[in-house]
Copies of this chain bind each other. A is one copy, B any other.
Amino acid sequence: MRIAVDAMGGDQAPRSVVEGAVLAAQEYPQAEIMLVGHEAQIKQESPATLPGNIRIVHAEDKISSDDEPVRAVRRKKQSSMVVAGQLVKNGEADAMISAGNTGALMATGLLVIGRLPGIERPALAPMLPTMDGKGVLALDLGANMDATAEQLLQYAVMGSIYRSKVNGMDKPRVGLLNVGTEEAKGNEVVKQAYALMQEAPIHFVGNVESRDIFQRNCDILVCDGFVGNILLKTMEGTAGTIFGVLKEEFTRSFMSKLAAAVLKPGLVRFKKKLDYTEHGAAPLLGVNGLVLKSHGSSDANAIKNGIRQGLHVLEQNVVGSIQEEISRK
């Protein structure tokens, strides 16, 4: 299983990416890792001898987090991200993983690798945190702003296959994000999607509300990329604000510092649970090849885990199963 790793993407690249790739190569001998990026810079971060299942693929340029995604992908043909995408496109790699510019990675999936036949729009599908730790796979969280009802249905199908195959779930529950649970709720597109999903070969549990996600009210949450992205940022903003205030309260006085010391371990555990970046890399589903987005702040361990996730998704042949299911219709 051949994985192209964007060595130049992410806040701590190339160091953490190279370190993570080396760890993964050692731990998963079945992986063939291509570290794509500036050779001299990669070598600087590498041990004297790289493991035998890593090779460097030189790419002169890189896409930064400030680059305008589509333009960067179109113009920077020699960037590490686009070169990694080309490796997948040409069949030289089975998957690619990047911690770089999210928009550019989605554009790489769409423009360099291309969609699966029959898929209208790929969807980015991170795992949202839940109290039981099992997570809700949410799609689309930003790849496609205006989704039609048909596209929402495709998200539901792709998400169902992913959770069945990758998480071993028997009948993963699909929920449609809405403003209420009653059938008649929502905007026009969502009402149409509700009707389509009822007829589809998925385990559709109806409309779900965002306030119940932490209680894992479904296993796959379907929404368009505009609403999904706002949902995610609202969770982040609310949690960040509350934890910020907690920190202030904890340091207000000598007594509160003592009190904080007692409570901290439990809260740190909980905060980690809430952090969706702890829940692995997000697949870009619907692309003709496996594309994984690792969080921008990924350290070596997160990169290693992303590569492990990639191997697992490849073993389960998720992309092939999506292709098969979509072409059946």
| Residues of A participating in the B interface, judged by any CB pair closer than 8 Å | 131, 142, 145-146, 177, 179, 186-188, 190, 209-214, 224-227, 229-231, 233-243, 245-246, 249-250, 252, 255-256, 258-260, 262-263, 266-267, 270, 274
A237-B262 CB under 8 A given contacts A186-B145, A187-B145, A227-B226? no
Q: Is the CB of A179 within 8 A of B249?
A: no
Distance to closest chain B CB from A32 (angstroms): 36
Using CB atoms, name the residue of chain B closest to A191.
Answer: B145
Please name all residues of chain B whose beta carbon is closer than 8 Å to the beta carbon of A142 when the two chains form the complex: 179
CA distance A239 to B240 in the complex (A): 10
> Can you report 6 A-B residue pairs in the complex whose CB atoms are below 8 A from each other?
A145-B179, A179-B229, A187-B224, A235-B238, A242-B274, A259-B259
Please name all residues of chain B whose beta carbon is closer than 8 Å to the beta carbon of A179 when the two chains form the complex: 142, 145, 225-226, 229-230, 233
Please name all residues of chain B whose beta carbon is closer than 8 Å to the beta carbon of A227 when the two chains form the complex: 226-227, 230
| Beyond known contacts A235-B238, A246-B246: 19 more, CB 8 A cutoff | A142-B179, A177-B230, A179-B229, A179-B230, A209-B233, A210-B233, A210-B234, A211-B233, A211-B240, A212-B237, A226-B227, A227-B227, A227-B230, A238-B242, A239-B242, A249-B267, A250-B263, A255-B262, A259-B259
* CB-contact partner of A131 in B211, B241, B255, B262, under 8 A: B241
Q: Is the CB of B234 within 8 A of A214?
A: no
A256-B263 CB under 8 A given contacts A226-B187, A235-B234? yes
CA distance A274 to B238 in the complex (A): 10
Please name all residues of chain B whose beta carbon is closer than 8 Å to the beta carbon of A224 when the two chains form the complex: 187
Please name all residues of chain B whose beta carbon is closer than 8 Å to the beta carbon of A243 when the two chains form the complex: 242
Using CB atoms, name the residue of chain B closest to A179.
Answer: B229
A211-B226 CB under 8 A given contacts A131-B241, A239-B242, A241-B131? no
* CB-contact partner of A230 in B214, B231, B262, B270, under 8 A: B231
Please name all residues of chain B whose beta carbon is closer than 8 Å to the beta carbon of A255 when the two chains form the complex: 262
Q: Is the CB of B190 within 8 A of A226?
A: yes
User: Which of A131, A231, A241, A243 has the most CB atoms of chain B within a 10 A radius of its CB?
Assistant: A241
CA distance A252 to B269 in the complex (A): 14
Using CB atoms, name the residue of chain B closest to A242.
Answer: B242
Distance to closest chain B CB from A131 (angstroms): 7
Q: Is the CB of A270 within 8 A of B245?
A: yes
Using CB atoms, name the residue of chain B closest to A226.
Answer: B187
Using CB atoms, name the residue of chain B closest to A261.
Answer: B259
A263-B270 CB under 8 A given contacts A179-B142, A226-B190? no
Q: Is the CB of A262 within 8 A of B266?
A: no
